[in-house]
Amino acid sequence: MSENIKMKVQNISKIFGPKPKSIIPMVQEGKEKDQILAETGHTVGVYNASMDIKQGEIFVIMGLSGSGKSTLIRCLNLLNKPTDGGIYVDGENVVEYNNAQLKKYRQNKIAMVFQHFGLFSHRTILGNVEYGLEIREVPKSERREIAMKNIEIVGLKGYENKYPDELSGGMQQRVGLARALANDPDILLMDEPFSALDPLIRREMQLELLDIQERLQKTIVFITHDVNEAFKIGDRVAVMKDGKVEQIGTPETILEHPANDYIEDFIADIDRSKVLQAEHIMIQPNALVSLKDGLKVAVKEMKDNGISSVFVVDRQRHLQGIVTIDDAIEGIRDKKSLEDVLITDVNTVKRDEYVNDLIPKALDSKFPLAVVSDDHRVEGFILRVHVLSGLIGDESEQEEPVQAGV
Amino acid sequence: MNRRKGDSTMNSSFPDIRFEVGKVVSDFVDWIDTTFEPLFDFIFQIASSTILGIEDGLLFLPWWVFLAIVFLLGWRFKSISSGIMYAAFMFLVGTFGLWAVLMTTIAIVLTSVVISLLLGIPLGVLMAFSKGFSVVMKPILDAMQTMPSFVYLIPAIFFFGLGNVSAVFATLIYSLPPVIRLTELAIRNVDSEVIESAESFGSSRWQMLKKVQLPQALPTIMAGVNQTTMMALAMVVIASMVGAKGLGEQVLIAINRIDIGLGFEAGISIVFLAILIDRITGGIASRFQRQKEAK
Ligand SMILES: Nc1ncnc2c1ncn2[C@@H]1O[C@H](COP(=O)(O)OP(=O)(O)OP(=O)(O)O)[C@@H](O)[C@H]1O
Ligand SMILES: [Mg+2]
């Protein structure tokens, strides 16, 4: 694996009840959560969960209420002590930490943002954000400076002397975020941080989180029960059910290859066009014509591929334009060159644009959309039908014609 | 030990089985007294000098400064008209010729309350942290609150003799439970997410208590201070039976002499003081409470 694994969660189980350890053998035998509850009265919060969380990614844990998301995330900073299993951060098993080590770990490596903010109502915003630094006995002037910087990052400059109850919910959660960031943790845990907020504020906070993440590159574990939120901000997503992790993957993989019926149901009402990006629906640029090839080659290329227009590139595959079969034949008759009949006004898109955002361009154009890199190199193209068909509902996955056609 | 006659017929009376629990208790108290005598002497010294100190301090203040302080407190925590009213009450007490006696009563009440808080808050915190301790303490607190307050006077005299210190001791036992209970309740009721967030930053137990739990619990603890103060004041008259000076003593004298005039003056003075203390401590408590509720 090329990417760094920041946190390795290995076979974590968390059982609630009078004698949790005694239940582990049953978990290992693979008995169901319901059965264990009926037979022993113990609740299985998390059932043998494993996952690798990579440095710098936003890892989302998603699942219905009661599926064990909070229980799992709280194991990661040991607010819950796992009944069984190991959690390795930078190679050390934090489950085995003694009190002093655990304090260090929480002070330096990991911070948490809570669903209902968990702010200290008796402290000002500044006092809240300073808290973690105060605990670590950072000198006063220094911690003031760090706190102010983080208050600014979350956009609350000017509010530092207010009390939490004087702020709106969205602003309070910004305080929660600033408080966690002030500690400069490697790992940021967020347990449904936005679910107490209005939809509008919520969307704004999601974008802002992505923005902050772009700058700070933390490793974020984010919990939500909202599929749309999960797929919007998650680099990878784990789906939980009854304490078990059912599937882990990128939003696209989960959308395209749901592991089971449960997940299929779960993602049924999601808007794909807001999750899928250009690169997920683009077609390999098999048929391409170079400028120097001339019109005859272009016609042959279109004929061979059964298409009625073809993209034209230069020697470095930089996009030059598109030529249609009608223009090409007319050009040959009139003894024109390829450049003469080239249509240069082509709509291009970047590979990470969301399909939803491509709709205007697709409506606006008669030709396929070209997917180009930053230096204008052709990486693929997208048929308008693939963008626009989404507008009239999911027409199921038909096999694409192998070659690019128009 | 010849109790009422009447055991001749039937089994209507209780058989002659006697467990002299009173004797056991009195032996026990005896033992405590002799074993811990130096300790009691020490406590006595501290308590009596505290009361004297406060009393002297209050008497040292010119009367109008005291009235000004009362007015300012009333103004700050209630309203300007309340401030004027409270100052007028105290002025009236002065006109009854009970000024010095009033100061003594305030000194006893203040001392009792301060000691109640010093003992009660840590005990309440311990109860919040330890289930076992809480289970042991709960029935003791119940007993302390339901036992007729007169009963406390006996060990008080026993340990500390007649006087103000005994009064403080008896008052203390009577007024301690609400502080302990409310402190425990307040600490237990701090929002669990707030506790967890403090924990997630790696707070030590002490940091958690000092920086989060106690400040969060403060509004409720303040309500306990209000209750405790009122109970201490209620104990003032009773405590005069063990030789406490102050307004209570005046009431007692009035009873003995069947002096209606003095009884009324001393009684109404206690009422004035009660109103003043209740409103001011209540005002402080609700100020804290408002901060918390606005959350
Ligand atoms: N302290 C606890 N004691 C006993 N059972 C618990 C405890 N905490 C959680 N559980 C149980 O563990 C299971 C998982 O709960 P958890 O809170 O992790 O779910 P969740 O996915 O976070 O749900 P939600 O979306 O409602 O927050 C539930 O069945 C719950 O009842
Ligand atoms: Mg939860």
**Could you give the CA distance from residue A333 to residue A367 in angstroms, rounded to a whole number?**
23
Nearest residue to A283 (alpha-carbon basis) of A376, A406, A402: A402
Could you read off the pLDDT of B271-291 as tens digits, one per residue?
Answer: 999 999 889 888 888 877 665
- Determine, yes or no, domain membership for A146: yes
Using CA atoms in the order B232, B237, B241, B245, what is the torsion angle rounded to 10 degrees?
A: 80
Q: Which residue of B has its CA nearest to A168?
A: B295
Residue range A143-176, pLDDT digits in tens: 999 999 999 999 999 999 999 999 998 899 999 9
Residues 6+ apart with CB under 8 A from B31: none
Q: What is the pLDDT of residue A403?
A: 43
Handedness of CA A223, A229, A231, A232 (dihedral sign): negative
DSSP symbols for A273-296: GGT-BHHHH-B----EEEGGG-HH
Q: What is the pLDDT of residue B238?
A: 84
Q: List CB contacts of B116: < 8 A, sequence separation 6 or more.
A: B172, B175, B176, B179, B228, B232
Give A240 Cα–ligand 2 centroid separation in angstroms: 12
Pocket test for ligand 1, best of A14, A19, A70 (most atoms within 8 A of CB): A70
Q: Is residue A30 part of a domain?
A: no
For residue A357, what is the enclosing H or E element? Answer: helix A355-364
Classify residue A63: in a domain, yes or no. yes
The verdict on A79 and A120 lying in the same domain is: yes
* Residue-level pLDDT at A308: 85
Tell me the CA end-to-end span of chain A in Å, nearest whole number.
Answer: 39
Identify the CATH number of the domain in which residue A245 sits: 3.40.50.300
pLDDT in tens, B220-233: 888 888 888 888 88
Tell me the nearest-neighbour CA distance from B45 into chain A, angstroms. 39
Low-confidence stretches of chain A (pLDDT < 50) are: 1-2, 393-406
In a domain, A87, yes or no: yes
pLDDT tens for residues B241-276? 888 888 989 998 998 999 999 999 999 999 999 999
Percent of chain B at pLDDT exceeding 70: 94
Tell me: do A247 and A302 sit in the same domain. Answer: no
As a whole number of angstroms, the distance between CA A43 and CA A24 comes to 12
Do both A202 and A313 map to the same domain? no
Q: In the prediction, which pLDDT does A2 show?
A: 45
Is A188 a domain residue?
yes
Q: List, edge to edge, every strand of the sheet that includes A244-249.
A: A110-113, A187-191, A219-224, A58-63, A236-241, A244-249
Angstrom distance (rounded) from CA A278 to CA A387: 9
What is the Cα–Cα distance from B181 to B127, expressed in whole angstroms?
A: 9
Give the nearest chain A residue to B207 (CA atoms): A135
Distance B208 CA to ligand 2 centre (A): 24
Q: Do B194 and A134 touch (CB under 8 A)?
A: no
Looking at the 3D structure of chain A, how many domains does it have?
2
Q: Examine the pLDDT at B3 and tell me if it is beyond 80.
A: no
- A292 and A264 in a common domain: no
Question: Any alpha helices (H) in chain B, and if so which ranges?
Answer: 21-35, 37-60, 63-77, 80-95, 99-129, 131-146, 153-160, 164-188, 192-200, 205-208, 214-239, 247-257, 260-293
Find, among A17, A107, A5, A15, the residue nearest to A51 by Cα: A5
Same domain, A190 and A204: yes
Using alpha carbons only, what angle is made at residue A324 by residues A321 and A330, rounded to the nearest 5 degrees?
Answer: 115
Whether residue A70 has its Cβ less than 6 Å from ligand 1 = yes
User: How many angstroms separate the alpha carbon of residue A244 from the centre of ligand 1?
Assistant: 13
**Is A169 inside a domain boundary?**
yes
User: A243 and A324, same structural domain?
Assistant: no
Q: What is the pLDDT of residue A399?
A: 40
Residues of chain B found within 8 Å of residue A164, distances taken between Cβ atoms: 295
CATH number assigned to the domain comprising residue A350: 3.10.580.10
**A192 C-alpha to center of ligand 2: Å?**
7
Continuous segment of H or E residues that includes residue A188: strand A187-191
Q: Which residue is associated with the tokens 């993209």?
A: A311
CB under 8 Å to A28, separation ≥6 — which residues?
A48
The per-residue pLDDT of chain B, averaged, comes to 86
Give the integer Cα–Cα distance in Å for B119 and B47. Answer: 14
Residue A110: closest CA among A191, A220, A185, A56: A185
Distance in Å, CA A85 to ligand 2 centroid? 21
**In the predicted model, is pLDDT for residue B7 greater than 70?**
no
Contact at CB, A114 and B215, closer than 8 angstroms: no
Q: A118 and chain B: CB distance < 8 Å anywhere?
A: yes
pLDDT of B236 above 90: no
Structural domain containing residue A70: 54-275
Q: Can you give the pLDDT at residue A78?
A: 95
Are the CB atoms for A224 and A190 separated by under 8 Å?
A: no
Q: Do A363 and A255 lie in a common domain?
A: no
Inter-chain touch A134–B211, beta carbons under 8 Å: yes
Do A267 and A284 share a domain, yes or no?
A: no
Task: For residue A23, tell me if it sits in a domain.
Answer: no
Average pLDDT over residues B21-25: 85
Indicate which residue's Cα is closest to atom 24 of ligand 1: A65
Burial track A154-166 (b if 16+ CB lie within 10 A, e otherwise)? bebeebbeebbee
State whether the beta carbon of A67 lies less than 6 angstroms from ligand 1. yes
Tell whether A324 and A347 lie within a shared domain: yes
Find the closest chain A residue to B289 by CA distance.
A122
DSSP symbol at A165: G
A131 and B201: CB-CB below 8 Å?
Answer: yes
- The verdict on the CB of residue A66 being under 6 Å from ligand 1 is yes
Q: How far is CA B231 from the centre of its chain?
A: 5
Name the domain boundary from A275, A309, A325: A275
Is A45 touching ligand 1 by the criterion CB < 6 Å? yes
Q: Which residues contact B178 (CB under 8 A, 6 or more apart)?
A: B224, B227, B228, B231
What confidence score (pLDDT) does residue A406 get? 41
pLDDT of residue A123: 93
**In-domain check, residue A6:** no
Q: What is the pTM of this model?
A: 0.75
Contact A121 B292 (CB under 8 A): yes
What is the pLDDT, as a whole number, of residue B285? Answer: 81
Q: Is the pLDDT of residue B32 over 90?
A: no
- Helix, strand or coil for residue B45? helix
Inform me whether the C-beta atom of residue A78 falls under 8 Å from chain B C-beta atoms: no
Q: Per-residue pLDDT tens for B159-212?
A: 888 888 888 888 888 888 989 999 999 999 999 999 999 999 999 999 999 999
pLDDT at B52 over 80: yes
Same domain, A62 and A202: yes
B210 chain-A contacts, CB cut-off 8 A:
none
pLDDT of amino acid A221 = 96
Task: Examine the domain organization and report whether A269 and A327 are in the same domain.
Answer: no
Asked whether the beta carbons of A230 and A60 are under 8 A apart, the reply is: yes
Q: Which of A106, A114, A179 sits opposite B193 (nearest CB)?
A: A114
A119 and A193 inside one domain: yes
Mean pLDDT value across residues B101-108: 90
